[in-house]
């Protein structure tokens, strides 16, 4: 069990990738796992667009400064979300699927980084041919890791855990 917890803690955003392109079967395997993420009313509003056309990938890498990891990633996947299938919770549902996808990629020995898409929704809709009711919730840069970054700092439990009421840090109060 501890091994599972350590596995969860060992995921990192990977922004440098080897040139070798991961086989499509591995990406599909990770998407298969992402389907098991929880969603409101089991609505599963997610769709996955695999980006292996270098021209499309380059355009995605240029949508903003922080999209640059896509430039040297051999593959990308856009997680898109069908609003009508989960009108209240589509963003949460698709964030869940994205995280499952990231963890599955990690389990398969692949590296990935979540690239922000929400400030460029219209541009991405145009680029990817998304209909109006489909929102690009995340872009994932994917490849074999070519770096081994240390963990980013995390807030301590004392800062983020409360008991019964917001701000109460001691169980005995």
Q: Using CA of residue 141, residue 144, residue 148, residue 154, what is the dihedral sign?
A: positive
Q: Quick one: 4 or 166, whose CB is closer to ligand FMN?
A: 4
Q: Where are the beta strands (DSSP E) in 19-170?
A: 46-51, 75-82, 111-115, 134-143
Q: How far apart are the first and last CA of the chain?
A: 33
Q: Quick one: 44 or 113, whose CB is closer to ligand FMN?
A: 113
C-alpha span between 46 and 73 (Å, rounded): 23
Q: Quick one: 129 or 153, whose CB is closer to ligand FMN?
A: 153
Q: Quick one: 152 or 155, whose CB is closer to ligand FMN?
A: 152
Alpha helices, DSSP H only, in 18-142? 24-34, 54-61, 90-107, 121-128
Using CB under 6 A, list all residues that contact ligand FMN: 12-13, 15, 66-67, 69, 113-116, 152
CB of 111 to ligand FMN, least distance (A): 10
CB of 151 to ligand FMN, least distance (A): 7
CB of 86 to ligand FMN, least distance (A): 18
């Amino acid at each position: 069990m501890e091994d599972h917890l350590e596995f969860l803690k060992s995921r990192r955003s990977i922004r440098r990738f080897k040139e070798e392109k991961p086989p499509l079967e591995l990406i599909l395997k990770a998407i298969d796992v992402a389907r098991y993420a929880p969603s409101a009313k089991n609505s599963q509003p997610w769709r996955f667009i695999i980006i292996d056309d270098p021209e499309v990938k380059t355009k995605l890498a240029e949508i903003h400064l922080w999209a640059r990891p896509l430039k040297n990633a051999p593959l990308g996947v856009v997680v898109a979300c069908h609003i009508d299938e989960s009108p209240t919770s589509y963003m949460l549902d698709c964030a869940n699927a994205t995280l499952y996808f990231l963890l599955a990629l990690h389990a398969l020995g692949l590296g990935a980084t979540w690239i922000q898409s929400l400030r460029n929704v219209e541009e991405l809709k145009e680029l990817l041919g998304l209909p109006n009711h489909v929102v690009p919730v995340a872009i994932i840069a994917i490849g074999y890791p070519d770096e081994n970054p240390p963990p980013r700092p995390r807030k301590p439990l004392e800062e983020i855990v409360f008991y019964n009421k917001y701000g109460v840090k001691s169980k005995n109060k």
